Structure 1
Amino acid sequence: MTRSNGSEDRRTRGSIRVRGNSLQVRVFSGKDPVTGKDVYLTESVKGTDKAAYKAADKVQTRLLAEVDSQRATSSNATFAYAASEWLRVSELEDSTRELYVGYIDRTINPAFGSTPVRKMTTRMLENLYAELRRCRVRCDRKPFVEHKAAGDHDCKEAKCKPHKCSPLSTSAVRQVHSIISGILGAADRWDWIPGNPAKAAKRPKQKQPQPEPPSSAEAARLAEEAFRRDDDWGTLVWFVMTTGVRRGELCALKWSSIDLDEGVVEIRRSYRLRRGVGTEKDTKTHQMRRIALDTETVVLLMEHRDRWRDRLATADVDLTDDMYVFTGIRKADPTAPYSPHAVSSRYKEMADRLGIKTHLHALRHYSATELLTAGTDLRTVAGRLGHGGGGATTLKVYAAWVAASDRKAAELLGSRMPKVTRKPRDKKSAD
């Protein structure tokens, strides 16, 4: 250990040197595994008197202990580099990867990209979350114009507008936190930093889910209108109502997954359409599930299958198990899945014409809430919906309906209890 005015041999491992009105403590902690450069731990102590040197000696001893116990920082890699390495080694769905890259490019790297990961702190993260909840572009509160085109341009023609602060939603900020936590967690595992500061960072509170399923009367109107338009579309809407499947699962459904004799459908795959390119993938929870079908739904699917057999027979084509159950109206081809966007758009247009404010995913909520209100147990409903956690997700999303179901169960149990004849109280003995 040495005290110097600015030059020291790194083999001495540590030094204390004067920097203005302060003392800077430097301790060599090894080679950076990414850049190959020497890495130093530094800390400042105010003052240059004897007491300051005594305090600096204690700081130096602590930093050397950190190095010796391998808790010291070992990398000067920037956060942007750590993010790119994390994306490179992470196993993510294509849609998830695109989502993460968008957040990193638009929000995270502009804030921390050039910051060394070893300098990331919990307070920095919480400051970012607070700024994003105020303004998604983290403006300095000074007026400016948001230009819609690069370079020299006519703002009026490009429709450039004065900036108005728009906060990032709570769920989006929580997503940003999740990505940052993943990156810093990887840096921690790789020994680039001594710990993950995101673990202690306070995120915005998650709002309680508030599903808004259509009422029974609205559901009846929607189903009736769907069948009025055409039987294929009516069968699709009815199927979603009774099974609660996700949109992608509906579009990926093939005849090989439906056993009409047993009245069971297997949900194995999901279909997604991204930038005009469709792909099949695992379900959201990466698990297959079996859903029992009611008699009416089985009959409707049988009629739906017969219709397609007759249509294909006119072209001397057989209906096979590898064909899709539902297909679009513009391109009625059972070898191609129904576009998820087209399903949502057609359903929304139908609901709007009926004056019902709803969307396709609300039919999933309708299926769940109808089952819970009818007294179906939580695990069964969770299984039909494909929720993980043994019903924890279902309980969180549909807490109000679970409570209503519990009240109904209590009343049912009370009605089945044996009636007890109670003796009238003797007024004198009571006195």
Structure 2
Amino acid sequence: MTSWSDHAIWWHVYPLGFTGAPLTAAPEGAPVRHRLRRLESWLDYAVNLGCSGLQLGPIFASETHGYDTVDHFRIDPRLGDDDDFDHLVAQARRRGLRVLLDGVFNHVGRGFPAFARALAEGPGSPAARWFRPGDGAGGFAVFEGHDQLVALNHAEPAVLDHVVRVMGHWLDRGASGWRLDAAYTVPRAFWREAVTRVRRRHPDAWFAGEVIHGDYAAYVTEGGLDSVTQYELWKAIWSSLNDGNFFELAWALDRHNGLLEVFAPMTFVGNHDVTRLASRLTDPRHLGHALAVLFTVGGVPSLYYGDEQALPGVKEERAGGDDAIRPAFPDGPDGLASHGMPVYRLHQRLIGLRRRHPWLVRARTKAEHVANRALALRSEGAAGEVVTLLNIGDDAYRFPVDVSRLSVADSCAGAGGPDEDPALVPAHGWRVLVHRP
């Protein structure tokens, strides 16, 4: 059965950074700042890009970066309040955009009220059962060595009840689903019970787990999720382009086909946790190649804000190392530099192609011809086929594949002419072929 998520293309925004909010929360009692409303002036930009949804990073009250939540039921005062959230959802819906929220349910900030009670009342208290024992402060576990992120105890029924209430509360207010942060650290049985309970009232809600490594399919089949983040394909896209090794991408796409037998993964070439694509690629001529793959293979694509402008940004493993990839944006699109518009237009073209072929969400992609620096991909579904040709060599390359029924829909030089040889791709070029009209 087709779901609305089969047509989803997300524009992913990290609101605290995007709106230029301070890096730390204001003192208790400080006035609320209504920065969330700044996103309204960007909604038409997302629609014009071709996106159908707004994927938000953390927006709930936290101590610093949003992933150290202290109140899941309150909008971060640095961003606004309930009225600001309701206004943003209403304006997004008016434009046909759904809203996906970031749920941080593996850990909380040290200022989370139950943790304060656990420290005060001791390890045998009801509050202490909310948290896993460990080597962190107060004898509790923390998330991947981050002392400010206290790990929740997912075997505690009160934690499950809390997560179910939080997800239902914001779905009631108009959200369409959840991206579940650090889903790979939470027991799959917890996710299954949580989303099963939430779906009783919100059967159309969509749940995508952040899974960096591990058994992706199991988080769907055992965890009850709809999707997980496809980090394996993300790495293969930029790595194969940088290394001149398309065998890596072909191998990853074969594994990707196996996942598509079970679910449609959340695909991406950038997000709030990784070096931006424009900085990751060693040759800027290959940015279009990465995008051509993203939009012609199966999955639910997500675009990280600024990548559509080819913004640079390098993630560093240090305090503040995420700042460069989570920058503030101007008040509206008119404040953007003009040199990013060609990449924005390229995104528009490829997203437009994707939306004209919505069956691609569950398409299987076969590598029909593989060489170190040349790759021919054929994506097929019940409604058609799309062929993507990638050449990162220094010479033109004629692909030995059957394109007799196809014509150039888009390429590094735009749509092709009627007399153009669709199988001949220029040096460092790419082409997407579809059936002739």
Which structure has the bigger radius of gyration? 1
- The TM-score normalised by the length of structure 2 is 0.23
Structure showing the higher helix proportion among its residues: 1
